[in-house]
A = this chain, B = another copy of it.
Amino acid sequence: MADGGARRSRLRDVAELAGVSTMTVVRTMREPAKVADTTRARVEAALLRTGYTPDLVARALASQRTGMIAALAPLLSNSLIADVVQGMSDAVAGYGFHMMIGATGFSLEREEELVRAFLARRVDAIFVTGIMHTPDTVRMLRDAGIPVVEGANLPEAPIDSAVGFSNFNAARSVVRHLCGRYEGPTGCIVASSVGNDRMRDRHGGWAAALEESGRAADPSLTATVELSLEAGAAALGTLMARHPNLRAVFCGSDVLAAGALFECQRRGIDVPGRLAIAGFDDLDIARQVVPALTTVRVPRYEIGWNAGQMIIDRIAGRARGPRTVDLGFDLLVRASA
| Residues in chain A within 8 A of chain B (CB atoms) | 1-6, 53-58, 60-61, 66, 75-79, 81-82, 85, 98, 100-101, 103, 116-117, 119-122, 141-148, 159-160, 228-230, 233, 258-259, 262, 265-266, 284-285, 287-290, 314, 319
Contact = CB atoms under 8 A, between A and B. Distances in A.
Given A98-B117, A117-B98, A284-B229, A1 B61 contact: no
Contacts of A147: 1-2
Contacts of A117: 98
B160 A2 contact: yes
Contact of A143 (B4, B78, B85, B101): B4
Given A2-B145, A57-B121, A100-B100, A262 B288 contact: yes
Nearest to A5: B143
Contact of A262 (B82, B101, B122, B290): B290
B76 A284 contact: no
Given A5-B145, A82-B76, A230 B120 contact: no
A122 B3 CA distance: 15
Copies of this protein chain in the complex: 2
Nearest to A228: B284
A34 B136 CA distance: 31
Given A57-B61, A122-B57, A288 B1 contact: no
A142 B265 contact: no
A142 B266 contact: no
A29 to B, nearest CB: 13
Contact of A1 (B77, B160, B258, B284): B160
Contact of A78 (B58, B77, B288): B77
Contact of A77 (B6, B79, B229, B258): B79
A262 to B, nearest CB: 5
Nearest to A4: B145
Contacts of A262: 288-290
Contacts of A160: 1-2
